[in-house]
Amino acid sequence: MQLKELVEKYVSLGGGYGRPVALAAFGFDHDETERLFASFDEDYNISRYFHFSRAEGAAYRINGFDHTHVSIDADVASVL
C-alpha cells in the first residue's frame, strides 16, 4: 500500500488528522499491519508525522514496541 492510500484510509476512519485510530481498524491481517506500519516508521521523512500509542485493543509490534493506535499529522500532505 502506498502512503497516500494509507493516509486516505486513516482520515476516513478517524474523521480527520491528529486523531488516534486503532491499528486493527485498518482491516489488514496482524502481520501485514506490523510490516506496513513498521516500513513507514523506519522512514524519517514519513515517521515524523506518525504517532503511535498504546491503549485498549489489539497490540501490534512496530519496530520493537507494542502499539494499538496511530495518529497522523496533517503535515504528512507535504510528502504525499
Determine the average pLDDT of the residues in 37-60.
Answer: 97
pLDDT band for position 45 (50/70/90)?
A: very high
Q: How would you classify the pairing of strands 65-67 and 69-72?
A: unpaired
Split into its structural domains, the chain has a count of 1
For residue 36 the three cell numbers come to 506496513
pLDDT band for position 33 (50/70/90)?
A: very high
What is residue 5's predicted lDDT score, i.e. its pLDDT? 97
Amino acid in the structure at residue 36: L
CA angle 25, 79, 7 (to 5 degrees): 15
Range of the domain at 63: 3-79
Name beta bridge partners: 65.
Answer: 62
pLDDT band for position 11 (50/70/90)?
A: very high
pTM of the model: 0.93
pLDDT band for position 10 (50/70/90)?
A: very high
Give Cα 5 distance to the centre of its chain.
12
